[in-house]
Amino acid sequence: MTRAATLIPGDGIGPEITAATLQVLDALGMRFDWDEQYGGMTAVDKAGTPLPNATLDSIRRTHLCLKGPLTTPVGGGYRSVNVTLRQEFDLYANVRPTKTIVPGGRFQHVDLVIVRENTEGMYVGLDHTFRIGGERRAMAQAMSIITRAGSERVCRYAFEYAKAHGRKKVTIVHKANILKATSGLFLDTGKRVAEAYAGTIACDDKIVDNTAMQLVIRPDQFDVIVTTNLFGDILSDLAAGLVGGLGLAPGANIGTAAAIFEAVHGSAPDIAGQGIANPSAQMLAAAMMLDHVGEGQAGNRLRGAVETAIVKDNVRTKDLGGSATTAEFARAVAHRA
Ligand code: NAI
Ligand code: MG
- Give residue limits of the domains in the chain: 1-89+257-337, 93-247
> How many CA atoms does the CB half-sphere of 152 hold within 13 Å?
7
Topology of domain 93-247 in CATH is: Isopropylmalate Dehydrogenase (3.40.718)
- Give the tens place of pLDDT for each residue, 5-20: 999 999 999 999 999 9
Report the separation in Å between the CA atom of 286 and the middle of ligand 1, taken as the mean of its atom positions.
18
Q: Are 258 and 119 in contact (CB under 8 A)?
A: no
Model confidence at 261, pLDDT cuts 50, 70, 90, reads: very high
- Give the tens place of pLDDT for each residue, 60-79: 999 999 999 999 877 667 77
Report the separation in Å between the CA atom of 269 and the middle of ligand 1, taken as the mean of its atom positions.
7
Q: What are phi and psi of 295, to 5 degrees?
A: -110, 50
Q: Are 123 and 62 in contact (CB under 8 A)?
A: no
- Computed from CA positions of residues 191, 194, 196, 199, in that sequence, does the dihedral angle turn out positive or negative? negative
Q: Do domains 1-89+257-337 and 93-247 have the same CATH topology?
A: yes
- Answer CATH for 1-89+257-337 from 3.40.50.2300, 3.40.1280.10, 3.40.718.10, 3.40.190.10: 3.40.718.10
- Provide the mean pLDDT of the chain: 93
**Rounded CA separation 101/21 (Å):** 18
- 314 class by beta-carbon count within 10 Å (0-12 exposed, 13-18 middle, 19+ buried): exposed
Comparing CA positions, the residue from 101, 142, 150, 148 lying closest to residue 125 is 142
Report the pLDDT value the prediction gives residue 105, as an integer from 0 to 100.
Answer: 65
Choosing from 16, 66, 230, 265 the residue with most ligand 1 atoms within 8 A of its CB, the one to mutate for a pocket test is 265
Name the residue with the closest Cα to ligand 1, atom 26. 266
186-210 residues labelled b (16+ CB within 10 A) or e (exposed): bbebbeebbeebeeebebebbbbee
Name the residue with the closest Cα to ligand 1, atom 38. 266
Strands across the sheet containing 259-263: 32-36, 3-8, 64-67, 259-263, 250-254, 93-99, 111-117, 224-227, 169-174, 202-207
Q: Taking the model in full, what pTM does it have?
A: 0.92
Angle at 220 (CA atoms; ends 217, 225), nearest 5 degrees: 100
Q: Residues lining ligand 1, CB < 6 A?
A: 13, 17, 69-72, 82, 246-247, 262, 265-271, 277-278, 281, 319
Model confidence at 238, pLDDT cuts 50, 70, 90, reads: very high
> How many CA atoms does the CB half-sphere of 50 hold within 13 Å?
17
Q: Are 180 and 146 in contact (CB under 8 A)?
A: no
Report the pLDDT value the prediction gives residue 102, as an integer from 0 to 100.
Answer: 80
> How many CA atoms does the CB half-sphere of 32 hold within 13 Å?
21
Q: Are 12 and 71 in contact (CB under 8 A)?
A: yes
Active site residues: 123, 175, 209, 233
Query: What percent of the residues of the chain are helix, what percent strand, and what percent coil, each to the nearest 5?
Result: 45, 20, 35
- Give the tens place of pLDDT for each residue, 21-49: 999 999 999 999 999 999 999 999 998 99
More confident residue, 29 or 136: 29
**Rounded CA separation 229/226 (Å):** 10
Report the separation in Å between the CA atom of 268 and the middle of ligand 1, taken as the mean of its atom positions.
4
83-98 residues labelled b (16+ CB within 10 A) or e (exposed): bbbbbbbebbbbbbbb
What is the position in ligand 1's atom list of the atom closest to the CA of 271? 11
Average pLDDT for 95-111: 83
Q: Are 110 and 242 in contact (CB under 8 A)?
A: yes
What is the position in ligand 1's atom list of the atom closest to the CA of 282? 18
